[in-house]
Structure 1
Amino acid sequence: MTKGALAKGAVILSIAGFISKIIGAGYRIPLFRLIGAEGMGIYQMAYPLYTLLLTISSAGIPVAVSKLVAERVVLNDRQGTRDILLVSLVMLSLIGALCTTALYILAGFLSREVLKDERAYYSIVAIAPAVFFVGLMSVFRGYFQGFQQMYPTAISQIIEQAVRVATVLIGAYLFLPRGIEYAAAAATSGAVAGAVAGLGVLLVCYVWKSAILPPVWTKGMGGKSLSLLMTGYRILALSLPISFGGLVLPMVQILDAVTVPLRLQQAGYSVAKAAELYGELTGGAVTLVNVPTIFTLALATSLVPVISELHARKNKFQIYRNVNAAVKAAVSICLPAAVGLYLLAEPIADLLFNCPEAGIPLSILAPAAVFLGLHQTTSGVLQGLGRTHLPVKNLLVGVVVKLGLNYYLTGLPVFGIKGPALGTLAGFCVSSVLNLADLHRVTDWRLSRQVLSKPAVAATIMAVGVYLTFGFLKLTYNMHLATVLTVLFGAGIYFVVLALIDRGSDSTIMLLVNVFRKRS
């Protein structure tokens, strides 16, 4: 792949991924307002089970298929690319069918004995077919990426997300009169509709591949192919390590779905109230904290090839410069978001979700935006340096801390839903600090006061402005309008102050421009 093709492909997938994440984050606000905290709790219980099976079955498939197809392209093996596609489709069809069937059969047991809320049964059944369709979709995405054709993947990602969100909201609205468990199930079925739509786009691209792939690859045979058995073995050998490496977060989500409602019930809450509190945390607070990290995740993705190239050239000065740029950018984005979410937690939760109670876990979880942004950014740097195991190790340590605090604190009535919020905050704090320590050990880079001081000063001035402004506006206007005006005013203060005190070639904006310019 040429450098130009690599940059073009990366930009296409980054834009598509960014649009998909924005859509995926935005729909939770109207959904929360529609089905409430209790409905969101039921909705959130089914998703970790689906994510876990999806990760096990197909997380590494796009990478494995694209790598093998690219190898066959270099060898001019047209039949080999078809064999890879055929074997992958057969494998994922079987695995996906087994996983879907398992969810159907075990839905009653999982909802009753594991999640401790029988209303989650309908959501588990509704989402089960998505495992099958997403698996097939991952095969076709890997196939086209192997030919350096990123448009089919990008288009299918956006269509999948758009159809999913539309189905989620329409389905929840139509089924809400029957009960929140049915509304939550209709919402989870959006994953199936989105997967079918995304797969449909890829099938159309495959049928019309003569318009996408070079003509030499759309007719005739050629090249020396591997046996079908060897092809299947290589797909598994490449995909399984990636799949198992991606199990950390799905497992955490499942343990949260299992332990948090259970411990809340043991603390004296009813099943319905436990689901409501769980929805306030996962459907409300976590959703808002994750918004600024959409940008830091894109930054981390951009950093990997940049740092990798500089590391290969042994250019330590530029590595330091880019690490400073990345960390400073992450702090500049996430710190004001964390401060704003902390100060305005309850009015923001009321404005967006019509649920001011979600402000309780949000106020505790808000600082996690900074630590999560730092973890993502430093993980990108460590991956670019070839130390891919370190972020995984550090995340696992953070997960252990989180789960321990979750279990202990949530069961104490004095903490309740504050327990898992504190556990999550502590977990990301630990993992980000360990990443920074490993980065120092590997490169001798240190987190300097210069990187943090200017965003911190701007955020402090913003905090004072937000506190005073909201205190005045809520006496003059209604709470919702006061909240919107305060958020806009606070953002304006922050960026004006940062622009005034952060000038020159080492400013956040100039450093970011250099990072993205090197990428392309």
Structure 2
Amino acid sequence: MKAKLFLKNTVILTVGSIILRLIGVAFGAYLSRQIGAEGMGLYQLVFSVYNFASTLATSGIYLSVTRLVAEGIGRGSYADANDAMRKCMIYGVIVSTVAASALYGFSVPIGTKLLDDPRTVLSLRILACALPFMAFSSSLRGYFFAIRNVVKSTSSQILEQLIRMAVVSVGLTILLPKGMTWACAAIALGSVGGEALAFLYTLVLYLRDRRKRNFTPKRQKETTRRVLAITIPVALSSYLRSALVTIENILIPRGFKKYGATGQSALAQYGMMEAMVMPILTFPSAFLTSFSSLLVPELAEAAAVGNRRQINRLASRVMQLTLFFSLPITAAFIAFGEDLGLAVYQSAEAGAMLRVLAPLVPMLYLDTVADAMLKGLDEQVSSLRYSIIDSAISVVLIYLLIPIYGVNGYIAVMFISTFVNAALSINCLVRVTEIPFSLGDWVIKPIIAVTASSIGVLYLVRGLTFSSHAMAVVVKAGLMLLCYFGLLLLTRAVTFREIRDFRRILHPKDQKSQIAPAPHRQASHSL
């Protein structure tokens, strides 16, 4: 039953994540048409500071709730889970109030001195109001993940985005004629409205769920200690990591200016890279993001009862699945990137940049799932340490390379930082688990399959005329994925038996014996 619930939640989260990504991409395309590339750069600059403030307000809360509630439920004690939830919410009230006050109080020096653009001040003040709502929502969503009721968490996020889009659309209609300052303010108002109403919705769902539970409330000093033991190290590391990321985002447009771009052009280049290209590059990871989120409570429970066999087998299958998934996405961006850029943003330049950055996809996606598994295995501090190392390297390279090489310097920084972060995370995961790795089945055969599929599809569709760039992407990518999956089965890089058996590893009680690899598929290489 638990395996079925996991798969059901994976489907729900995947669908929800795809909807959220589609909303995000559609919203980004709408904003780019309304405020242009310069406006997107200004918007991204404001939200780089807001993201740092949100890290101050929420970091560690979601993971603490998910871990402690899942462990309490795993022990059969909802009273422990309730105590953890209550104390995490108190912690959230305190830190979010401090963060909101700081963002509002220092908005003028941040906007005029740090961001070097007074147009950002009003938006920063508005966004400060969203932080307390965000902290509460983080606790509530962590609770629903821990009890495996992801519909409520996902629906609240979709509601938040829809409200945000509605408020922004109305706000831009009224405020855009007043200039870019007020346009960004309209976007900030959308974020506040979305966070506030989503919080109220999730709170109602939480109170209804809590009333269904029969338990005697109790308060334990041990719970407080455990909450602080998880949140404080994660928070401090996240603060440093987020500060470095914010510095990165500030240095990038400044680096473009030093390279020779005007202020407007620098913001336009920055907006295209961060607000247009990167969302498309990470969009296909919706499935992996959903799956990774569910791995945290699953691995936390397995670790709590010492089930190393399930941990090792789950980690192995997930890493293999991630490689199989990321390689055709990479090929699709390389082969059809121009059509995709034109379909979404009416920008050939964005499409060209997608093709250049496409090789980042496997490392980005592997890092995503490795990071989630490390958090479930109580290695969240290690994961954050690697992110800090990655960001520190990025800051130095951005400072040195972009003023000299411009966009090419930015691309070099992206490749170096992504590789470093992913390599460190994967190495840590291998160290704390035992992952059998087959170079032939995991890497060589999928690369051959995806290369043959891409070349074959490009040959088959040459000369065909499509009604739109979007239709061209759908047809070409669909044909390529069908060919790719068929070749994986043909080369036995993956088998139907492995597909059927994957669900069994989610819960050791669902199987009577260990699923051993077939003799001809023994691991041929060790990480």
TM range (shorter): 0.7 to 0.9
What SS does the aligned partner of 1:47 have?
A: helix
After TM superposition, the structure 1 stretch with the greater mean CA deviation from structure 2, 356-365 or 305-314, is: 305-314
Change (3 A) 1:434 1:76: closer
Note if 1:408 corresponds to 2:400: yes
How high is the TM-score relative to the length of structure 2?
0.80
The Cα offsets for residues 349-392 of structure 1, whole Å up to 9 and x where unpaired, read as 22211232223433332211111112223344555666555444
What SS does the aligned partner of 2:106 have?
A: helix
Note if 1:349 corresponds to 2:341: yes
Change (3 A) 1:516 1:126: farther
Change (3 A) 1:331 1:9: closer
- Name the CA distance, whole Å, in 2 between partners of 1:56 and 1:40: 24
What SS does the aligned partner of 2:463 have?
A: helix
- Name the CA distance, whole Å, in 1 between partners of 2:8 and 2:462: 48
Partner of 1:452: 443
Note if 1:192 corresponds to 2:192: yes
Residue 41 (structure 1) shift? 0.9
Residue 278 (structure 1) shift? 0.6
Residue 285 (structure 1) shift? 1.0
Partner of 2:418: 428
- Name the CA distance, whole Å, in 1 between partners of 2:334 and 2:348: 13
Residue 297 (structure 1) shift? 2.6
Change (3 A) 1:509 1:202: same
Residue 131 (structure 1) shift? 0.7
Note if 1:161 corresponds to 2:164: no
Partner of 1:115: 115
Aligned residues of 1:34 and 1:173 also touching (Cα < 8 A) = no
What SS does the aligned partner of 1:472 have?
A: coil
Note if 1:515 corresponds to 2:502: yes
Change (3 A) 1:465 1:505: closer
Count of aligned pairs between the two proteins: 501
Partner of 2:286: 294
Partner of 1:53: 53
- Name the CA distance, whole Å, in 2 between partners of 1:487 and 1:5: 31
What SS does the aligned partner of 1:27 have?
A: helix
Partner of 1:336: 328
Change (3 A) 1:467 1:436: same
Change (3 A) 1:144 1:438: closer
- Name the CA distance, whole Å, in 2 between partners of 1:181 and 1:469: 49
Note if 1:484 corresponds to 2:471: yes
RMSD: 4.0
- Name the CA distance, whole Å, in 2 between partners of 1:35 and 1:464: 38
Partner of 2:275: 283
Residue 27 (structure 1) shift? 2.6
Change (3 A) 1:241 1:14: farther
The Cα offsets for residues 39-73 of structure 1, whole Å up to 9 and x where unpaired, read as 11111112222222222222323444563798699
How high is the TM-score relative to the length of structure 1?
0.81
| Contiguous gaps of at least 5 residues in structure 2 | 508-527
Residue 26 (structure 1) shift? 4.3
Residue 269 (structure 1) shift? 1.4
Q: Which amino acid aligns with 1:263?
A: G
Partner of 2:258: 266
What SS does the aligned partner of 2:468 have?
A: helix
Residue 199 (structure 1) shift? 1.5
Residue 289 (structure 1) shift? 0.9
Residue 517 (structure 1) shift? 4.3
Change (3 A) 1:281 1:516: farther
Partner of 1:495: 482
Change (3 A) 1:376 1:512: farther
- Name the CA distance, whole Å, in 2 between partners of 1:508 and 1:417: 43
The Cα offsets for residues 319-347 of structure 1, whole Å up to 9 and x where unpaired, read as 46x55543332233222222222344344
Change (3 A) 1:306 1:232: closer
Change (3 A) 1:512 1:189: farther
Q: Within 5 A, what are the aligned runs for 1:367-378?
A: 367-378=359-370
Residue 193 (structure 1) shift? 1.0
Aligned residues of 1:303 and 1:515 also touching (Cα < 8 A) = no
Residue 102 (structure 1) shift? 2.1
| Contiguous gaps of at least 5 residues in structure 1 | none
Note if 1:27 corresponds to 2:27: yes
Change (3 A) 1:41 1:64: same
Aligned residues of 2:285 and 2:365 also touching (Cα < 8 A) = yes
Partner of 1:179: 179
What SS does the aligned partner of 1:292 have?
A: helix
The Cα offsets for residues 184-219 of structure 1, whole Å up to 9 and x where unpaired, read as 331232221111111211343366x3x7532646xx
The Cα offsets for residues 117-144 of structure 1, whole Å up to 9 and x where unpaired, read as 3322233223221112212333444566
Q: Which amino acid aligns with 2:403?
A: G
Q: Which amino acid aligns with 1:515?
A: F
Residue 214 (structure 1) aligned to one of 208, 212, 215? 212
Q: Which amino acid aligns with 2:463?
A: F
The Cα offsets for residues 213-250 of structure 1, whole Å up to 9 and x where unpaired, read as 32646xxxx555458xx987765444222323444653
After TM superposition, the structure 1 stretch with the greater mean CA deviation from structure 2, 508-517 or 281-290, is: 508-517
- Name the CA distance, whole Å, in 2 between partners of 1:28 and 1:95: 30
Partner of 1:36: 36
What SS does the aligned partner of 1:424 have?
A: helix
Aligned residues of 1:48 and 1:254 also touching (Cα < 8 A) = yes
Residue 509 (structure 1) shift? 6.6
Change (3 A) 1:76 1:507: closer
Partner of 2:103: 103
Q: Which amino acid aligns with 2:98?
A: L
Q: Which amino acid aligns with 1:286?
A: M
Change (3 A) 1:365 1:174: farther
Partner of 1:241: 233
Identity of aligned residues (%): 22
After TM superposition, the structure 1 stretch with the greater mean CA deviation from structure 2, 431-440 or 285-294, is: 431-440
- Name the CA distance, whole Å, in 2 between partners of 1:391 and 1:233: 21
- Name the CA distance, whole Å, in 1 between partners of 2:158 and 2:415: 31
What SS does the aligned partner of 1:116 have?
A: coil
